[in-house]
């Protein structure tokens, strides 16, 4: 079985609580990964990109979740 890399489990994920509470769902949840949020012209970090767009675009995170980082990585004790 393959572990799914879900945006909601990624440390760069930010839920749009206003949209969630008003019934808009998760369309406006954003990814704040610096690699994906940086303006490639100016180098400035922007406010994040919509998760669904980052996952659909192969040159970004893509379906496989190339830039996924778990919120709480498992630590060996």
| pLDDT at residue 1, rounded to an integer | 46
Sort strands 13-14 and 30-31 into parallel, antiparallel or unpaired. Answer: antiparallel
15-72 pLDDT, tens per residue? 988 887 887 778 889 998 888 877 777 777 777 888 888 888 878 899 999 999 999 7
Rg (C-alpha) for the chain, rounded Å, is 14
Determine the Cα–Cα distance for residues 13 and 75; give it in Å rounded to an integer: 21
Query: pTM, whole model, 2 decimals?
Result: 0.73
Which pLDDT score is estimated for 75? 57
Q: Where are the beta strands (DSSP E) in the chain?
A: 13-14, 30-31, 49-50
């Amino acid at each position: 079985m393959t572990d799914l890399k879900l945006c909601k489990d990624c440390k760069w994920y930010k839920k749009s609580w206003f949209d969630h509470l008003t019934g808009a769902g998760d369309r406006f949840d954003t990814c704040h990964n610096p690699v994906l949020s940086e303006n490639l012209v100016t180098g400035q970090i922007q406010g994040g990109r919509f998760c669904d767009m980052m996952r659909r675009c192969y040159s970004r995170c893509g379906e496989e979740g190339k830039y996924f980082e778990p919120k709480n990585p498992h630590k060996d004790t």
